[in-house]
Structure 1
Amino acid sequence: MPRRGSLQFYPRKRASTEIARFRSWPEVDGPPRLIAFPGYKVGMMHFMVVEDRPGSPLFGREVFTPVTIIETPPVMLLGVRAYTKTVYGLQHMATAMNLNPRFEIEKEKLPDSIDDETYKRLLSSLKTYRDKPDLFMRDLSRRITVPKELRRALPEKVFDKLESEADQIAELRAIVCTLPRLVTGVPKKAPEILEIPVKGGSMSDRVKYMRQRLGYPLFVQEVFTKGQFVDVTAVTKGKGFQGVIKRFGVKRLPHKAGKRRREVGSLGSRHPAKVCWTVPRPGQLGYFKRTEYNKRILEIGLNGEDITPKGGFHKYGIIRTQYVVIKGSTPGPVKRFTLMRYPIRISPLPYEARYRITWTPLVGG
């Protein structure tokens, strides 16, 4: 066994895709809603946050806190998929698609916590697609070709079937399509398409919720709240082929070790005459999919200009849409696709975040 590094993440190879995903999902209480939301990493800065944990020695005092900014433009609810449980695992049951999305939504369909001013700002972020209705389908065709049977299928008939067979549905997932054109800091047009489970309420309530919201945009304010904890996954920054010192943290050999310093002291025993896979060896470092648990949301903002420093964020630019401020760091470099999820591990109760912002001059900002 290696004395440095973890065997948890073997094999240490490059991720197959930059669209990171979760393999497991928690159960949540309350009304039906999606339990994850995608975004793009902007960069880091620092806030002065008033410590609000009652047991902390710094309770009530300002603390220098590094934070990560993630831009979270609206996403489009493109479809819904129902799965039933069999002895072989989850099996596809039915799919409903809406290929005529509307980039505006009635305020009655949004949560009560969104006031009139917030509602106007959310709609203004979709102006690019409202002015050019065919732009969304052109971008979608860059990523996928929708099968003919899904184009012809009527969503209402599929939802009628799902409501009548709600007791057979094991999991209901929304097919979500990102809108990268709204993010000027990420130079891409092709959207990411992923499935996000719908949790909360009964299964029939979830089907009714998706019937009501299919074909409409979804905002991060409908998924997360200020002060709660989330899990964050992304593909880390790639560092290429590296040696065992940087890759595993192995100690350097002493100066009398001969002609080598930055190697492991022993590759193993004489017999069996082979190198065990657990011995640290040079190879790929970075560009791995990693997940960090229980990261706290300090702020969910509407207007990115409120937090963008003069000159924009380094290597990113100006935040044009909504954003999320997360305490601490998250995986991945600037512009990396990031997925946030409700916490799957037991986390502390959320506290109301009280803080003051101190602007930090970034390099090139």
Structure 2
Amino acid sequence: MSHPHAPRRGSLAYSPRVRARSQKPKYRSWAELGDQPKLQSLVGFKAGMSHVVMVDDRPHSTTEGMEISIPVTIIETPAMNVAGIRAYDDGPYGKHVLAEAWVNDAKDLAKLFRLPKSVDTDAQLAKVAGLVKDGKVAELRLLTYVKTEEVSGIPKKVPELLENRVAGGSMDKRFEFAKSLLGKQVKPNDIFVPGELVDVSAITKGKGTQGPVKRWGIAIQKRKHARTGKKRHVGNLGPWNPHRVRWQVPQLGQTGYHQRTEYNKRIIKLGEKAEEVTPEGGFLHYGVLRNPYIVVKGSIPGPVKRMVRVRPAVRPKNMPKQAPEVTHISKQSKQGSSRRA
């Protein structure tokens, strides 16, 4: 019999389970930082997984001070180019753009949209500065883009343009910080440090239309219930009244290709030398890294080559904040059976 308190194994909080509108993850909440301005997110691409050997620095752990092997995910993070500054106000109906300032030589964005013939960056910055001085700006964001053609595993020429929030300190400090980055590049070590906890967001693997057993984890019909000729279906579609099927009933439909966020992923290593983590023969279905990278503990959403977004943890756990002591990074080939390394 079905259990009245466990009609499904999936959460209704994610309904409706539809395909994501874009492969670019979006954040609706951010962590509040200290007194120094800082950029709050980073864009990368999932290269693959491996394992590392590190000294367990978790207090009260049964293996504290001993070497342990943990699974890790490598994210290739090319430098982000800052193309503009955007100022928002916070009204009763949400945030609205007040003003923005663009660099005059963002030629890489010509593949994304038509650029104006000329841009008066100084006049635009003066307008944003006036709004900041008058106290009308509630939030500042940087318009950053990544050159995907510089990533070996991404066969795409059009750059990826995203907004990144600037937080920490007063609004005047944030504006001066954003102004100093305009037209420059931002690398992973400018935002994060080894040992820091981060949230990783991506669009999950798409699986198309799937039945209720795979989609919701309902029980397969057994014994006399299987005599109807159906096993992988929900036993009851709901009550007689009201005369309709409620949306809470687990049914077939779209599975996967949803935005999901993994909380509190610890950064194991930051680096710029790709040969330190690239396995023999390169990552499967990806290739060889050519840009800086981030190594995070555990798995992250999405398939290989999927865009990944990383932000400081919004609800961090009480974990060691120092950089972990890594003694070995596996570079064993992922292309089949080989000698372990």
Given the two structures, how large is their TM-score scaled by the length of structure 2?
A: 0.91
Q: 1:79 to 1:196 in 2, by over 3 A?
A: same
The range that moved more, 300-309 or 351-360, is 351-360
Q: 1:165 to 1:270 in 2, by over 3 A?
A: closer
Q: Write the distance in 1 (CA, Å) between the matches of 2:63 and 2:238.
A: 49
In the TM superposition, what whole-angstrom CA distance separates every residue of 1:238-297 from its partner, at most 9, and x where no partner exists?
A: 111111111111111113321111111211122323221111101111111111111111
Q: Write the distance in 2 (CA, Å) between the matches of 1:269 and 1:363.
A: 53
Q: Write the distance in 2 (CA, Å) between the matches of 1:49 and 1:263.
A: 46
Counterpart check, 1:289 vs 2:259: yes
In the TM superposition, what whole-angstrom CA distance separates every residue of 1:193-236 from its partner, at most 9, and x where no partner exists?
A: 11111112221111112222201111111011111011111100
Poorly superposed stretches of 4+, deviation over 6 Å = none
Q: Write the distance in 2 (CA, Å) between the matches of 1:89 and 1:274.
A: 35
Counterpart check, 1:305 vs 2:310: no
Q: Which amino acid in 1 is paired with 2:175? A: V
Q: Write the distance in 2 (CA, Å) between the matches of 1:88 and 1:274.
A: 34
Q: Which amino acid in 2 is paired with 1:276? A: R
Q: Write the distance in 1 (CA, Å) between the matches of 2:252 and 2:93.
A: 39
285, 306, 323: which is aligned to 1:315? 285
Q: 1:183 to 1:91 in 2, by over 3 A?
A: same
Where 1:344 maps in the other structure, the secondary structure is coil
Question: 2:120 maps to which residue?
Answer: 154
88, 96, 99: which is aligned to 1:91? 96
Q: Which amino acid in 2 is paired with 1:289? A: Q
Deviation at 1:363, TM superposition (A): 2.8
Q: Number of aligned residue pairs: give it.
A: 326
Where 1:264 maps in the other structure, the secondary structure is coil
Q: For the Cα contact (< 8 Å) 1:53–1:351, is it kept in 2? A: no
Q: Which amino acid in 1 is paired with 2:111? A: R
Q: Which amino acid in 2 is paired with 1:88? A: Y
Q: Write the distance in 2 (CA, Å) between the matches of 1:219 and 1:206.
A: 18
Deviation at 1:30, TM superposition (A): 4.0
Q: For the Cα contact (< 8 Å) 2:35–2:169, is it kept in 1? A: yes
Q: For the Cα contact (< 8 Å) 1:159–1:207, is it kept in 2? A: no
Question: 2:162 maps to which residue?
Answer: 194
Q: Write the distance in 2 (CA, Å) between the matches of 1:313 and 1:346.
A: 31
Q: 1:274 to 1:211 in 2, by over 3 A?
A: same
RMSD across aligned positions (CA): 1.7
Where 1:295 maps in the other structure, the secondary structure is strand
Q: For the Cα contact (< 8 Å) 2:8–2:216, is it kept in 1? A: no
242, 247, 253: which is aligned to 1:277? 247
Q: For the Cα contact (< 8 Å) 2:280–2:332, is it kept in 1? A: no
Q: For the Cα contact (< 8 Å) 2:20–2:257, is it kept in 1? A: yes
Q: How does 1:91-240 map to 2 (within 5 A)?
A: 91-100=96-105, 137=107, 139-146=108-115, 148=116, 152-166=118-132, 167-240=135-208
Q: Write the distance in 2 (CA, Å) between the matches of 1:267 and 1:62.
A: 53
Deviation at 1:79, TM superposition (A): 0.2
Question: 2:333 maps to which residue?
Answer: 361
In the TM superposition, what whole-angstrom CA distance separates every residue of 1:135-177 from its partner, at most 9, and x where no partner exists?
A: xx2x52222223x4xx644222232333343232110000011
Question: 1:133 maps to which residue?
Answer: none
The range that moved more, 271-280 or 352-361, is 352-361
Question: 2:236 maps to which residue?
Answer: 266
Question: 1:5 maps to which residue?
Answer: 10
Q: Write the distance in 1 (CA, Å) between the matches of 2:178 and 2:118.
A: 19
Q: For the Cα contact (< 8 Å) 2:56–2:67, is it kept in 1? A: yes
In the TM superposition, what whole-angstrom CA distance separates every residue of 1:312-337 from its partner, at most 9, and x where no partner exists?
A: 00000000110000101100000000
Counterpart check, 1:68 vs 2:58: no
Question: 1:104 maps to which residue?
Answer: none
Q: 1:255 to 1:64 in 2, by over 3 A?
A: farther
21, 25, 30: which is aligned to 2:26? 21
Given the two structures, how large is their TM-score scaled by the length of structure 1?
A: 0.85
Q: Which amino acid in 2 is paired with 1:28? A: L
Identical counterparts, % of pairs = 40
